[in-house]
Amino acid sequence: MSTESLKYFNLGRNLLSGFEQLPDVLPWVNLRFLSLSSNMFHGPLPIPAASTLGYEVQDNNFAGEVPPGICNLSSLLALDMSNNNFSGMIPQCFGNFSDHLTLLLLGNNSFHGTLPQTYTNKSNLRMLDVSQNQLQGQLPRSLANCLMLETLILSNNNLSDVFPIWLGTLPELKLLAMRHNGFHGVIGKPKNNQRFPKLRLLDMSYNNFTGQFLAEYIFSEYAMRPNVTVSQTTYIDADISYESGNGVITLSYGSTITITSKGVDRYYSKIQEAFAVIDISSNKFEGKIDDWIGNLKGLISLNISNNLLTGGIPSFLGNLTQLESLDLSNNKLSGEIPQQLAQLTFLAKFNVSHNNLTGPIPSGSQLRGFNVTSYEGNSGLCGDPLPKKCGNSDTPAQLPPSGTEDSSSGFGIEFDWKFVLSGFGSGLVVGVVLADVAITRRPVMFLEIVGTLIRLMGRIRRWKRSGRFI
């Protein structure tokens, strides 16, 4: 093929392992788009012509440092180098590219060092994914210049910084994933109450955040409303057009992410704009569950597990009727499970295990249909699916007053037959008196009285038989 006429070249999704004679710079001088993705290419990264607008090499075995010649591609709109074996530092020129670059995907490699430091206020960057590398240091504050940024994925690195509340100035940011890093500290109040205006997916799990999680500092009630998009088929993506020999070809690049949903890590190759997730699990957050969460009516998944949260489970969670997954496990929550949670008819995953919860599991709802593991580690809980029952199955059991013995430890059966026996032996009046004692006194005291009366009745019967009782 002519090295001057070829503009669009797609070799993706084959079993190719390399070029017969691979030059350092590929020969097609007017190339607009080149895809080598999903093959078995290996060795150093080949550099296409400076005219290239889109370059895809993801899902191969390319290795080594990125050649300096990549910085000649100053007109790039899309660069996808994810899922390879690249090492070394991310070229600083990638930050300078942001005036044109729309898509930069570098995830799942072995890059180390810091992120590029320079992003200008002319940036056109919409997606940045550097997850699953070995990056360190703080986030460059110049990211706040990327006013078109919609997706920022930083997960699974060694980044160390406070929560980037300053990213709340980004008007288009919808997805922020920063799980498995060294982010730390208390989330402070933003200046001028500037919340993230469009953020719908936040994953900050497995970090070292402390203090109280105040959702009102981060989320806009407007952005988290239900059915925020026109249809459920709208995705977080970016369309980029390339010139080819037969006209213009438009390719759509979607955000991909792995998040914990419904209790397991799930890989999403596409993310609907209507998808609303908060995952703050495995940190050191403390205090009560923030009331502001009750305003985020579009939430589909809420995971606050493995923290130090105290207080009760708030009833306002029952207003989040879109919830499909709710994980409150491994905290220090106390009190009863609110009956309002029975309104969450879409729940497919529910976990409150390993807290200090008490009382009955709400009856007449799907909450009783979850596995026993959803409730284990709460010695005060009772009712299906737990083996510990609550007494009268038709009404919620009343907990014993503080400092008294637990009446559900086997006394229930003894109470029933001894009550009948005592009533039978001593007449209606004694039975009524004993019923009052049973209700208003401790069960142990009642059993002692019953035992005394039974022994007394036995003596009376023996006296009658001996003729000494008149």
pLDDT single digits (tens) 195-211:
999 999 999 999 999 99
Give the span between the Cα atoms of 141 and 157, in whole angstroms.
Answer: 18
Distances, alpha carbon 87 to alpha carbons 93, 103, 133, 271, in Å = 16, 20, 9, 29
Of residues 132, 164, 134, 163, the one with CA closest to residue 146? 164
Instruction: Indicate whether 406 belongs to any domain.
Output: no
102 and 228 part of one domain: yes
Q: List, for residues 265-297, the tens digit of each pLDDT value.
A: 887 878 888 889 999 999 999 999 999 999 999
347 and 449 part of one domain: no
433 and 345 part of one domain: no
105 and 209 part of one domain: yes
Q: Within a 13 Å sphere around the CA of 80, how many CA atoms are in the beta-carbon half?
A: 21
Q: Please check whether residue 299 is in contact with residue 228, taking contact to mean a CB–CB distance below 8 angstroms.
A: no
360 and 454 part of one domain: no
Instruction: Indicate whether 442 belongs to any domain.
Output: yes
Q: List, for residues 199-248, the tens digit of each pLDDT value.
A: 999 999 999 999 999 999 999 888 888 865 444 568 888 888 887 767 78
20 and 129 part of one domain: yes
459 and 359 part of one domain: no
Report the chain's C-alpha Rg in angstroms: 33
Burial of 287 from C-beta contacts in 10 A (0-12 / 13-18 / 19+): middle
- CATH no. for residue 250? 3.80.10.10
Instruction: Indicate whether 395 belongs to any domain.
Output: no
The mean pLDDT value for 342-359 works out to 95
Q: List, for residues 401-453, the tens digit of each pLDDT value.
A: 333 333 333 333 333 333 333 433 444 333 433 444 444 444 444 445 545 55
Domain stops at, among 382, 402, 434 = 382
What is the residue range of 44's domain? Answer: 8-382
How many domains does the chain contain in total? 2
Range of lowest pLDDT (364-373, 374-383, 387-396): 387-396
Give the span between the Cα atoms of 358 and 378, in whole angstroms.
Answer: 7
369 and 454 part of one domain: no
Instruction: Indicate whether 349 belongs to any domain.
Output: yes
220 and 272 part of one domain: yes
- The C-alpha angle 125, 130, 132, rounded to 5 degrees, equals 160
Instruction: Indicate whether 405 belongs to any domain.
Output: no
SS3 320: coil
Range of lowest pLDDT (25-29, 102-106, 176-180, 187-191): 25-29
- Its pTM stands at 0.81
Range of lowest pLDDT (71-80, 197-206, 239-248, 391-400): 391-400
Supply the pLDDT for residue 332.
98
